[in-house]
Amino acid sequence: MPKPQASSQLHGILVLEKPQGPTSSDCVQRIKRELGQPKIGHAGTLDPMASGVLVVLLGQGTKLAPYLTSGAKAYRGALELGTETDTYDIQGTVTGSGSWEDLLPAQVEQEVLGWKELTEQIVPPYAAAKHKGRTLYSLARAGKDIPVKTKPVAIDQVQVLHVDLPRVSFRLRCSAGTYVRSLAHSLGQRLGCGAVLTSLIREESEPFLLEHAHSLQSVLKTPDRFAERVIPLEESLPHWPRLYTSQAQAEQIANGGRIEVSHFPDWQPTQPGRQALLLTPEGKALALAETKQHQQGLYWAVLRGLWAKR
């Protein structure tokens, strides 16, 4: 099969449906090589076992990473009681086992719903989190002692879809950075029998849904349609307010200036810390901005400029 023709560098967001198996980085690197996108990244890593929404950032879209990575995530998954592994999922090395036969389905369901009460969790030993400059998974693979790290989490919604012990399927919505395999592991510890995550699908990476994602195979096999699948910068933050500037204001912003909130009649927040996407008079992305208090009043100040030549 001939290699797809390389595209010019695009700028925006590709909502990708990551397949099970490759890492998030593997998927991004294939798009980089095969579709000619030298400036590329992603927001919100998925484990190799997981599939679903992976937000790929292209060109100037890489500047949006902090504002997309921090969004809430929604997952559909399954776990199995009776086994523990070093990775907290079914792909790891078994480290222990326990009996689940005396557990009642209602008891297990109650414990799963209890995830909503969690405010912190243990970071898995095989994770990209760092300790003294090294990732935990690199320490684990080197046989080093893994420090116990915890992180704050917020589980907004939990739904138990089916219980057929020792298997449980569920759906949840959680804060960014939540390790669902840690939720499975801690559940097994509370029940006294161990548990591992057996499947995971990310259904949402706020504000993007799985139903709007493109499969990796379709993206790579139809390079002529790649550009139409990329969400342009001006539409990449649909949950942010959008403010149109005048030509003079656009030039002022591009030169590092700030603009009084009162100059935008469509939306005039009264507090600092509010964020918006500034657009040129033609509707093209200009900058990410935030309201800041100065002596003279409240102004829109640039967070990240998006005005580089495209």
Domain extents in the chain: 12-71+207-235, 73-205, 242-305
3-state DSSP assignment of residue 175: coil
Residue 25 has pLDDT above 70, yes or no: yes
Task: State the Cα–Cα distance between residues 217 and 125, nearest whole angstrom.
Answer: 31
pTM: 0.90
Strands (E), 123-269: 130-131, 134-135, 150-152, 155-164, 167-174, 195-205, 208-209, 214-215, 231-232, 242-244, 259-260
Helix (H) and strand (E) counts in the chain = 8, 21
pLDDT digits 0-9 by tens, 7-22: 699 999 999 999 999 9
Task: State the Cα–Cα distance between residues 29 and 34, nearest whole angstrom.
Answer: 8
Domain with residues 12-71+207-235, CATH architecture: 2-Layer Sandwich (3.30)
Q: Which fold has domain 242-305?
A: 2.30.130
pLDDT band at 178 (very low <50, low <70, confident <90, very high): very high
> In this structure, which CATH number among 3.40.50.2020, 3.60.10.10, 3.30.2350.10, 2.40.50.100 belongs to the domain 73-205?
3.30.2350.10
Task: State the Cα–Cα distance between residues 309 and 266, nearest whole angstrom.
Answer: 28
Task: State the Cα–Cα distance between residues 168 and 187, nearest whole angstrom.
Answer: 11
pLDDT band at 122 (very low <50, low <70, confident <90, very high): confident
Q: Establish whether domains 12-71+207-235 and 73-205 are of one fold.
A: yes
Out of 47, 102, 156, 266, the active site residue is: 47
Of 233, 206, 240, the residue nearest 305 (C-alpha): 233
pLDDT digits 0-9 by tens, 100-118: 999 999 999 999 999 999 9
47 an active-site residue?
Answer: yes
pLDDT digits 0-9 by tens, 140-166: 465 655 666 788 999 999 999 999 999
